[in-house]
Amino acid sequence: AQSVTQLDSQVPVFEEAPVELRCNYSSSVSVYLFWYVQYPNQGLQLLLKYLSGSTLVKGINGFEAEFNKSQTSFHLRKPSVHISDTAEYFCAVIEGFAGKSTFGDGTTLTVKP
């Protein structure tokens, strides 16, 4: 069965610094990978996804992620964060065709001035 591990529960960072949020997954078959963002009192919003093709995926708000099949990882990066990036970030995996999304427990990104 698929599973997702977000390696950091909280990541504090100063404004304009780079950030990386780490995600590892386990699955016995091919997967689709996603990052979602959740702001307080809101639902989840898709940041980016990897379905196939280039392993470097660019998303909204300047975020990007790299799929590494050998490391079974899908880390999220941003070169320069803003106060407005403060939110909860979730990594998710879908296993195979028509699979259901399995989410990690989230990483709280706090951007400090």
Partner 1 sequence: DAGVTQSPTHLIKTRGQQVTLRCSPKSGHDTVSWYQQALGQGPQFIFQYYEEEERQRGNFPDRFSGHQFPNYSSELNVNALLLGDSALYLCASSTRGRDEKLFFGSGTQLSVL
The answer to whether residue 61 forms part of the interface with partner 1 (CB under 8 A) is no
24 exposure class (CB count in 10 Å sphere: 0-12, 13-18, 19+) = middle
Q: Minimal CA–CA distance to 48: which of 84, 79, 24, 75?
A: 75
Minimum distance of partner 1 from residue 51's CB (angstroms): 6
Which of 12, 17, 51, 69 binds partner 1 (CB under 8 A)? It is 51
User: Residues 74 to 103: which contact partner 1 by CB under 8 A?
Assistant: 90, 92, 94, 98-103
The answer to whether residue 41 forms part of the interface with partner 1 (CB under 8 A) is yes
Amino acid at 38: Q
Q: Which is nearer to partner 1, 22 or 49 (CB)?
A: 49
77 exposure class (CB count in 10 Å sphere: 0-12, 13-18, 19+) = middle
Q: List residues near partner 1 by CB under 8 A.
A: 4, 32, 36, 41-46, 49, 51, 90, 92, 94, 98-106
